[in-house]
Amino acid sequence: MFGRIISFSASNLKALLPASISRCTRQLHITAPVAVKQIIETRKDKQLIIEGVYMNSPREETLLRHNEDSDACAVCRLNVEIKHTDVLILSQFIRKDGCMLPRRITGLCRLQQRRIGNMVAMANKAGLMTSLLPRARERDPYKRRKEHLKFKVYYDESTIKPPKDPFAPRKLVPKDNWF
């Protein structure tokens, strides 16, 4: 459990760790990750205390704390119409390679997860957050099936309907009589 959670970032910890300890640790990630826990060594006389201290997430300073009392998810609480071109908002829900984060990480409700997921896909296809996608790099140009996607595409988000809220009360529409 402990070994799985910790990650060591060379940039963060070089100054703190002696060389002997950094050599015996496993590098779990190649790209520069943000450390969840920071290893702090303190010496007290003959005792060496190594403790893992939780670090603040990089978003803590700019986090928008809005209506935190309500039970709704973060995006519902915000009550703002997000378009697929609002890249600065959508980029908060993606991994480094451009893929959408799962619901357990984002903490959104099912409805908003689907909407934001659709909009991230649209923004990727429309070329607004594109260069991190791995497939473009991996794809063999002679075997590409989707040749038509190499040119620019834009999406009109008035065409995407928000997914149906399954918990909304059903409206009874009376059948119109044909006679």
Partner 1 sequence: MTALGRVKQWNTFARTWHLFDAKWQNPIESGPTVAKYLQGLHKPIFHPMSECGDHVVVINTKDIALPGDEWRLRVYFHHTGYPGGASWTKAWELHDKDPTMVMKKAVYIAMDGTLQRRYNMLRLHLFADERVPDEIMQNVTNQIKPLRYVPPSLYDYSEEEIEKFPKIVDYPHDYVIR
What is the contact surface with partner 1 in residues (CB under 8 A)?
5, 7, 29, 31, 33-34, 36, 54, 57-60, 62-64, 74-75, 78, 85, 87-89, 91-93, 95-96, 104-108, 126-131, 147-156, 159
User: Residue 86: is it exposed, middle or buried by C-beta count within 10 angstroms (0-12/13-18/19+)?
Assistant: middle
Give the residue with the Cβ less far from partner 1, 13 or 78. 78
Give the residue with the Cβ less far from partner 1, 44 or 148. 148
Query: Tokens 């990727």 identify what position?
Result: 124
Give the residue with the Cβ less far from partner 1, 21 or 78. 78
DSSP H or E run through 135: helix 134-138
Rounded CA separation 51/42 (Å):
8
Report, in Å, the least distance between residue 152 CB and partner 1: 4
Report, in Å, the least distance between residue 117 CB and partner 1: 14
CB 91 within 8 A of CB 129: yes
